[in-house]
Structure formats: structure tokens, C-alpha cells
Amino acid sequence: MNALHSPVHNLAETVARLREEFPILCQEVHGKPVVYLDSAASAQKPQCVIDAVNECYSSYYANVHRGMYAFSERSTDAYEAARDKVRGFINAAESREIIFTRGTTEGINLVAASFGRMRVKAGDEVLITALEHHSNIVPWQILCEQVGARLRVAPITDAGELDLAGFEASLNERTRMVAVVHLSNALGTIVPVKTMIQMAHQREIPVLVDGAQWAPHLATDVRDLDCDFYTFSSHKIFGPSGVGVLYGKAEHLEAMPPYQSGGDMITRVTFEKTEYAEIPSKFEAGTPNIAGVIGMGAAIDWIQRVGFDTIAAQEQDVLEYATARVREIPGLTIVGTAPEKAGVLSFTLEGIHPHDIGTLLDQSGVAIRAGHHCAQPLLQRLQVPATARASFAVYNTREEVDTLVAAIRNVQTLFN
């Protein structure tokens, strides 16, 4: 985890320049400068991403892979160039291992509905963890209900850290699939997925990793992890919404049946039989979000220009500063205190519902998330009905944390 503490020279100046690339951060809300602390839900977009989407629609938009004319050829080239950018971004072996989806949720559903139905049968088990987002729970529940399998949950500690020994003990001869989050959206806990993958692979169990929260914060190397599937969303990595990525090892994708059917995922159709296209086209039925994919490619270019050293250093500095500052507030409890965290600070205030905290912070221009964060089983395990969550990106600063702390104290004053 050394990347969390990588030194970057002139970090404050670098971040100040980066903030200027985000037009939305220059606004005011309720007469106050906006302090956007909800990047775990969706990151804001730099101007280069906005420009890339605008250029597509204004200069060369057309459907991809199908037109024998200039606009279509240019759209296709930009669309496929984005696929290769994703390949490099996560260090996949081949571009054909990159499937474009509507987001992490669809990526997990695709694997559960296609690969899962091939592999998981009655009496088998699928293993997840207590840290999962609903998107990495419900698809596996549905699969298990359909085939008569059992969904098992690896335990966590009271600090919100994965119980690695408990995970290993949960693996057995009936385990046919493991699906695990890389970084908890509700707590910020970093999960030791590489070790978990090694444990699973020793038993020849394939592993899907939900990388939605990890991908914006730290570099991803799917070949180093040796995961079988990895999925993440564009809108978390400063790109457009409605777009995502599923990486899968080529041998798995080639063996899997299509998840959806329609145009562009076939080579030949008759009323008697359909022949499917090769990967990745086999899993990309219909007209895709062309401009969104191109915008995601621009977001990857932006991240690589900024560098994960800068991103990790700034986010870790802000997280550590925020953690120290909020601990000064009486009646505030931090939820999720694992030693390895990134990007997320969840908390409760004694006697004040998180929804009230979020509503009142908005009056100070501070945008946070409040509720169960699509992780109800996790919060039930921690015996907390809801939390207020501040989540950070490279564009957040210590000064914004000071604004958050002052606003929280004001909430307490109003209630008391």
C-alpha cells in the first residue's frame, strides 16, 4: 500500500491547478462556495471530458462498426481507441478482453447471468463478503435462487476490515464463485483482493472483483491481481455516466453465452440459427453509448496525465486530515476504522439523523451522502441504520475539510 503515501512535490499547487479544470467546482450553492464531497457516488468531470463528449456529438457522431462513411469511421476509431485506453489503464493482456457496459452493476449482472449460470448448480456456493454493495449481492442472490445454490458471506471485524482467516475458512469444495469488492463504498476499507484471489485460485475457484471504488483512487493491474473478472464505472473515474467496463480473461469470455442479444453481436442470423460474433462484440448488443465511451477514454487520458501518485497523495492527505479534524467533534463517531482506507469518511452524530445532517450541510454548500449507501447488510452488521458519508477525490482540499467541520458543528448547534 506504499502508493497511498507516495510523495508529490508542490502538491497544493498541483491540486489548485487541477481544480480549475472542473467548471462545476467554481459555482455557489445557497450563496456559498460549493464543497463537493460525494465523489464515491459520482466524481465531477474535467473540461477535457466535457469537450470530448461535445466534440463527438457536434463534429462526427454516427453509429459505430456499421457505416461505410466518414462520420461512422471516425466514431468507430474513437470508440475502439477508448477500448485500448481501458486495456492500458488496467493492464489487460488484450483489448478484446474489455467489454463496454452501462456500469459496474451491469458488469456484475453479466457475469452472474452468463458465467454464473454455466458454473453454479444446485448445492453449490457463491462466496461474497459482508462489505459488498447491493450490486454485488443481489445478482448472486438471484442466481442462487434460480439454480438452488447457497450464497455465503465472509465475515468482517467491528472496524470494518475483512476477516481474512474467516474468508479462507469459508472456501470449500462447494464454492464455485467468489465475488468481492476492492474498496468499500460505505467505509473506504481497502480489501486484500490479491491474497483472496490466490486463496481462491488454489482451489480453482474463479474471482470477480468489484472495482467501482478502487479504480479512481489507485492503479489497477488485472494481470498482477490475476482476477478472472474486474468491473468498474466511468462516472467514478471522472467520465460520463451510463458507461462502464467489464474485464474478463479471454478464455472465460469466449466460453460464455451472450448476456443480451440483438444487433452487432452476431455474424449471421437465420430463422433457424444465429451465429455469434467474437469477443468483445458478443457482449455488446445494440447501439452503445458512443459519446460516453469516448468521454471515458478522455477521462482515462486525464487520470494518466495527473498520475496516481498525485491522486493518492492528495486524497490520503485530505482523508487523514479530515479524520483527525472530525475526531475533535464531541458526539461524532467514525464508522469504519480499518487501518487501510481510501477516499471515504463515514460518521454519525449523536442524536441527529444522517438525513438531517446532509440536508443542513447543504445549506452551507457542503454536498455529502447520507443513508445506507446501497450497503444495508454491512450497516446492519455494524449495528448502524445509516451514516453521513464524506468522500474525497483529488480535487478536494484541507480548506474544504475545514468548511465541512464548521458546518457539522453548526448542525450540532442548531439541534442542541
DSSP character at residue 156: B
Residue indicated by cell numbers 493482456: 93
User: How many secondary structure helices (H) and strands (E) does the chain include?
Assistant: 15, 17
Distance of CA 108 to the CA centre of its chain: 12
Please state, in angstroms and as integers, the Cα–Cα distance from residue 210 to each residue in 67, 109, 228, 285, 306, following that order: 35, 11, 11, 23, 24
Q: 319 and 341 in contact (C-beta within 8 Å)?
A: yes
| Torsion (CA) 254, 257, 261, 267 in degrees, nearest 10 | 40
Q: Is the dihedral of CA 122, 128, 134, 136 positive or negative?
A: negative
The Cα 341–Cα 160 span in angstroms is 10
* 23: number of Cβ within 10 Å: 12
9 Cβ contact partners less than 8 Å away, ≥ 6 residues apart? none
26 is catalytic: no
The Cα 40–Cα 181 span in angstroms is 14
The Cα 85–Cα 19 span in angstroms is 24
Q: 234 and 299 in contact (C-beta within 8 Å)?
A: yes
Helical residues (DSSP H) of 210-346, grouped into ranges: 222-225, 250-255, 290-306, 308-326
The Cα 99–Cα 112 span in angstroms is 15
Picking from 87, 97, 127, the residue whose alpha carbon sits closest to that of residue 254 is 97
Q: Which of 56, 144, 227, 374 is catalytic?
A: 374
Residues labelled catalytic: 374
